[in-house]
Amino acid sequence: MQNAFELNDAQGKAHQYVIIPHGWEDGLDVVDALLDIGLGPVAELLYAQAMEAAKASNKSDTSGDNIDMSAMLKNFDRKEAVKSVRDGLRTSGGMKHLAPLLLKNTHRDGQPLTQSQLMGVYPQNWGELRSALIKVMEVNGFFELLAG
């Protein structure tokens, strides 16, 4: 299954993307890298706070499917979470390590995003890179995995 979409670069030029979801081993490599940077504990903390908010409101459904995000985020220390993830990212090899893992099965304008392609495409074009990384995370279900 492929996922095609379009992103604009910093100059406004449209680029065609195709994401082929990660296979088993590549997917696990990405999950390990995401856990290394601390996203797992952040997701776990958010989930635990959601369950507490559900219990406090006497809701019988504590599956997490009907979470009141506003109640959950009221006590969430965003600054500390961002600092924790940033520190984890730095100690695990940084974006230089994570971006190629995430974009391994992604094509831009028909070309695979290899290491040399990444270095030529994204300098001064960080917004497009951010959008591509988020889309890869969504298509592969990495957000759901970390939050579950």
Close Cβ partners of 64 (under 8 Å, ≥ 6 residues apart):
47, 50, 51
What is the per-residue pLDDT across 57-115, written as a single tens digit (0 to 9) for each?
665 555 555 555 565 566 666 676 666 666 666 666 667 888 999 999 999 999 999 98
The total number of structural domains that make up the chain: 2
Q: The pTM is what?
A: 0.69
Q: Crossing angle of helices 78-91/39-56, nearest 10°?
A: 160
Same domain, residue pair 85 and 43: yes
Same domain, residue pair 85 and 58: yes
Determine the longest span between alpha carbons in the chain, in angstroms: 54
Structural domain range at position 69? 38-91
